[in-house]
C-alpha cells in the first residue's frame, strides 16, 4: 500500500514539478531579455541542474501563450539515465492579471512527449528529492495544494506520448511506462492514465492507473474517481472508487481487493510483512486519516478459513506500526501450516511453492520443512495483531476447537502471548511463543502447558475412540535457533513432559504394535476391549537437537512398558525400542522388544526377537508410583 502510494505520489509530484517549471518559465520570460541563453541559465538555477531549452516563443496578451521546445534537465551525477527530464514541447496559456493576486490560472497546458526518469541511489536518495534538486523541490513543496480548492486552475490539460521510467537497484525494481490523458468513457471528461510495466525482485510487475483529469482536482463538488490495477507475479491488487479530496484522502469510498497464492508475497510490493498463507482473497474499504491508513470492513478468505476485521498502519511512528484485530467464525487448522513452512494437506489449497516444498519433504522423508524465515520482514514494521477464532476445524487427531492469540513485534522481537487453544472436552493448551529476529540467526522459544486434555479425542473417527479414556497433563519448554523449522528443531534445547494419571486404551491398538502377542491372538477372534492404564508418563530431553527418552513408560494391569532410545532432529530420524516388563504369568511371550527405526515421517516398526518362538514368562514388575513420578517430570527443570 505504501509503495504504490509513493509511486503515484512521485508521479503527481513530477507533474506538479512540470507545472512549476512552466510557471518558472513564465517568470523568466517576463523578467529576462528573452534570450534563450538567459532562459536556460535561469532554468538551471531553478532546477539545480544544467537545463537546455532549444526554443522559446511568447505571444503576449492578457492571456499570453508560451511555448518552450526541446527542454532537457540533466540527471544527478550518480544517475544512470542521461537526463532526469526531457520534453519535446511545453505549450501553455496563462492569464497575467490573476498573477498579481498570487493565483495561477492556465486556460490550457499541453505537454508533448515528456520523458521522466526517476532513480534511487545506493544511499536511498531520490534524484528528484529535496537534497538533489533543492530549489525546484522546495518550490514544489511551497506550492503543493493543501486541498482541492488550492490546486492550480487549469482549463484544459493534455499529455501526449508521455513516458516514465523508475529504477531502484536496491529493491530490484525496474519500471517503464506511459503517462497520458484520454477522453473518458461515453464522452465523459478527460482522464489521466498511467501505465507501467517492469520487474520487482525478478517477478513481473504491471500497474495501470486511471483517474480523473487534473481539471477535476479543482472541482470541489464532484468526488475524484480512481481505478488502480496492480499485478505482481501471481499477486493481484485493485483499488476502485472515489475520494472527495484526493490531497487529504477525505470522503473516501474506495474498495480494495488483494488476492494471491501467499500473503507473504505482498512484502516487496507494499512493504507490509504479511504471514505465509494458502491462497487468499481479501476485500474491504481503504480509509485515511493524517498519518494513518485504515483497512476496514474487511473480509478474508484464506485457504478454507474465513476472517473479518480491521487493519491500520500508523506512518507517524518509526518504524511504522501495524495494528490488526481479526475474528474468525471458521478457521481450518491446516491453513496455519504455512506459518511454520509446512504445507496444508489439501492439494487444492496450496501455492506452487508450497506444493514444491511438500514434494521435497516426501522425497527426502523429512518431517520438518526447511523453508527460510525472512528476518528482514519481522524487522520492517512493529505490530500488534490479535486473532480470535471462535470455531476451529481440525483433523481428527487434533482435538482443537477454538484458538486465540496476540502477536506483538517490537524492533524485530516477536512474542505470541497469550496463546490459547481450547480442546474438546474442556482441556486447553496455553502459553507463549517467541522469535527474536534482531540478528540474522533468530532465536525461537516455546513455553506451553497442557491441561486436562481428553486422550480419547485424539482418536476421533477411529475404532479406538470408545475404548480410550483419561486426561493428559503436559509441559513444553523448548528453545532453538535458525531460519527455518528444520534448523530450529535441529538445535533445540529443553524438554517436553506428559502424564496420564489413569484411564484406558484399546487392547487391539496395543496388540497390533506387537506388545502382547497372546492378547492379539484372542482379539483377532473375539474383537476389541480395553486395557486399563494405571499411569503413563513421558519426558523427552532435548540437547542440541538430540532427543532422549527419560522416564517414559506405560503402566497397565499386566505389565509396564518402557521406552528408551533417541531421536535426532538434525537427521530427522528415530531409533527407539519398547520393552514389556510383565507383572504376572504370560503364556506366550516373545522375549523381544518392539523396535522403532527410520525417518520420523515414516518410521518402521518391527519386533526384535530374542527367542524365535513364544514361551511362557513369569513376571515380577511392580506398579509405578504414578503421583510422585507425574509431579516430578512436570515440575522439574
For residues 64-70, give the mean pLDDT: 88
Residue 219 has pLDDT above 60, yes or no: no
pTM for this structure? 0.76
- In tens, the pLDDT along 402-436 reads 999 999 999 999 999 999 999 988 899 999 999 99
Q: What is the pLDDT of residue 516?
A: 43
Residue 576 lies in a domain: yes
Residue 62 has pLDDT above 80, yes or no: yes
Residue 237 has pLDDT above 90, yes or no: yes
Indicate the DSSP class of residue 274: P
Closest CA to 224 of 209, 244, 208, 254: 244
For residues 245-272, give the mean pLDDT: 87
For residues 24-34, give the mean pLDDT: 48
Residue 389 lies in a domain: no
Residue 564 sits in which domain range? 527-637
Cα 153 from Cα 312, distance rounded (Å): 35
Report the share of the chain in percent with pLDDT over 90: 24
Residue 515 lies in a domain: no
For residues 348-359, give the mean pLDDT: 72
Residue 554 lies in a domain: yes
* Number of domains the chain contains: 2
- For residue 271 the three cell numbers come to 512493504
Residue 131 has pLDDT above 90, yes or no: no
- In tens, the pLDDT along 297-327 reads 999 999 999 999 999 999 888 889 999 999 9
The answer to whether 59 touches 65, Cβ cutoff 8 Å, is yes
The answer to whether 44 touches 51, Cβ cutoff 8 Å, is yes
Residue 300 lies in a domain: no
b/e code 537-566 from CB counts within 10 Å (16+ = b): bbbbbbeebbbbbbbbbbbbebbbbbbebe
Residue 144 has pLDDT above 50, yes or no: no
Q: How confident is the model at residue 500 (pLDDT cuts 50, 70, 90)?
A: confident
Residue 85 lies in a domain: yes
Q: How confident is the model at residue 508 (pLDDT cuts 50, 70, 90)?
A: low
Q: How confident is the model at residue 171 (pLDDT cuts 50, 70, 90)?
A: confident
Which residue in this structure is represented by grid cell 503436559? 474
- In tens, the pLDDT along 282-303 reads 999 999 888 899 999 999 999 9
Pick the more confident residue, 24 or 166.
166
Question: Of 189, 210, 242, which residue is a domain's last?
Answer: 242
Residue 126 lies in a domain: yes
Q: What is the pLDDT of residue 408?
A: 96
Residue 498 has pLDDT above 90, yes or no: yes
Residue 627 lies in a domain: yes
Q: Average per-residue pLDDT in the chain?
A: 78
- Kindly give the pairing relationship between strand 382-389 and strand 321-332: parallel
CA angle 307, 309, 310 (to 5 degrees): 145
Amino acid at each position: 500500500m505504501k509503495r504504490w502510494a509513493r509511486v503515484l505520489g512521485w508521479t503527481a509530484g513530477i507533474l506538479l514539478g512540470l507545472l512549476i517549471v512552466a510557471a518558472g518559465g513564465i517568470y523568466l520570460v517576463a523578467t529576462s531579455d528573452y534570450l534563450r541563453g538567459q532562459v536556460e541559465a535561469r532554468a538551471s538555477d531553478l532546477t539545480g541542474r544544467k537545463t537546455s531549452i532549444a526554443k522559446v516563443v511568447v505571444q503576449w496578451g492578457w492571456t499570453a501563450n508560451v511555448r518552450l521546445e526541446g527542454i532537457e534537465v540533466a540527471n544527478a551525477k550518480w544517475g544512470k539515465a542521461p537526463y532526469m527530464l526531457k520534453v519535446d514541447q511545453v505549450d501553455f496559456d496563462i492569464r497575467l492579471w490573476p498573477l498579481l493576486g498570487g493565483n495561477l490560472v492556465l486556460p490550457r497546458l499541453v505537454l508533448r512527449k515528456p520523458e521522466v526518469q526517476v532513480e534511487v541511489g545506493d544511499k536511498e536518495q531520490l534524484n528528484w528529492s529535496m537534497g538533489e534538486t533543492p530549489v525546484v523541490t522546495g518550490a514544489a513543496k511551497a506550492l503543493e495544494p493543501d486541498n482541492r480548492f488550492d490546486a492550480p486552475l487549469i482549463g484544459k490539460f493534455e499529455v501526449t506520448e508521455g513516458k516514465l521510467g523508475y529504477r531502484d537497484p536496491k529493491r530490484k525494481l525496474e519500471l517503464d511506462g506511459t503517462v497520458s490523458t484520454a477522453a473518458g468513457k461515453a464522452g465523459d471528461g478527460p482522464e489521466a492514465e498511467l501505465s507501467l510495466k517492469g520487474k520487482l525482485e525478478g517477478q513481473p510487475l504491471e500497474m495501470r492507473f486511471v483517474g480523473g483529469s487534473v481539471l477535476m482536482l479543482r472541482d470541489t463538488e464532484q468526488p475524484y474517481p480512481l481505478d488502480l490495477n496492480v499485478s505482481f507475479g501471481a499477486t493481484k491488487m485493485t483499488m476502485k472508487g472515489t475520494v472527495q479530496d484526493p490531497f487529504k484522502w477525505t470522503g473516501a469510498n474506495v474498495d480494495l481487493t488483494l488476492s494471491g497464492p501467499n500473503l507473504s508475497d505482498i512484502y516487496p510490493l507494499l512493504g507490509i510483512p504479511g504471514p505465509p498463507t494458502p491462497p487468499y482473497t481479501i476485500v474491504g474499504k481503504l480509509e485515511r486519516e493524517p498519518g494513518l491508513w485504515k483497512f476496514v470492513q474487511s473480509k478474508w478468505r484464506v485457504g478454507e478459513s474465513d476472517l473479518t476485521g480491521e487493519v491500520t498502519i500508523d506512518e507517524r511512528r518509526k518504524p511504522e506500526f501495524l495494528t490488526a484485530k481479526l475474528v474468525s467464525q471458521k478457521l481450518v487448522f491446516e491453513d496455519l501450516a504455512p506459518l511454520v513452512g509446512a504445507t496444508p494437506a489439501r492439494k487444492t489449497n496450496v501455492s506452487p511453492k508450497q506444493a514444491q516444498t511438500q514434494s521435497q519433504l516426501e522425497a527426502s522423508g523429512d518431517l520438518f520443512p526447511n523453508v527460510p524465515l525472512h528476518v528482514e520482514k519481522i524487522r520492517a514494521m512493529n505490530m500488534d495483531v490479535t486473532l480470535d477464532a471462535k470455531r476451529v476445524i481440525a483433523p481428527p487427531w487434533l482435538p482443537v476447537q477454538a484458538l486465540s492469540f496476540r502477536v506483538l513485534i517490537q524492533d524485530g522481537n516477536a512474542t505470541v502471548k497469550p496463546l490459547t487453544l481450547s480442546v474438546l472436552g474442556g482441556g486447553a493448551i496455553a502459553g507463549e511463543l517467541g522469535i527474536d529476529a534482531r540478528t540474522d540467526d533468530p532465536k525461537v522459544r516455546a513455553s506451553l502447558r497442557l491441561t486436562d486434555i481428553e486422550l480419547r479425542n485424539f482418536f476421533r473417527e477411529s475404532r479406538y475412540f470408545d475404548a480410550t479414556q483419561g486426561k493428559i497433563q503436559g509441559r513444553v519448554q523448548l528453545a532453538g535457533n535458525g531460519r527455518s523449522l528444520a534448523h530450529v528443531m535441529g538445535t533445540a534445547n529443553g524438554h517436553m513432559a506428559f502424564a496420564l494419571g489413569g484411564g484406558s486404551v484399546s487392547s487391539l491398538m496395543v496388540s497390533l504394535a506387537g506388545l502382547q502377542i497372546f492378547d492379539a491372538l484372542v482379539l483377532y477372534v473375539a474383537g476389541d476391549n480395553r486395557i486399563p492404564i494405571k499411569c503413563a508418563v513421558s519426558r523427552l530431553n532435548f540437547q542440541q537437537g538430540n532427543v532422549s527418552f527419560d522416564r517414559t513408560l506405560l503402566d497397565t494391569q499386566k505389565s509396564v512398558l518402557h521406552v528408551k532410545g533417541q531421536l535426532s532432529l538434525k537427521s530427522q530420524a528415530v531409533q527407539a525400542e519398547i520393552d514389556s516388563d510383565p507383572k504376572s504369568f504370560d503364556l506366550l511371550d516373545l522375549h523381544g522388544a518392539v523396535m522403532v527405526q527410520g525417518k520420523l515421517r515414516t518410521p518402521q516398526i518391527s519386533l526384535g526377537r530374542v527367542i524365535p518362538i513364544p514361551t511362557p514368562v513369569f513376571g515380577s514388575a511392580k506398579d509405578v508410583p504414578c503421583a510422585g513420578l507425574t509431579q516430578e517430570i512436570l515440575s522439574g527443570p
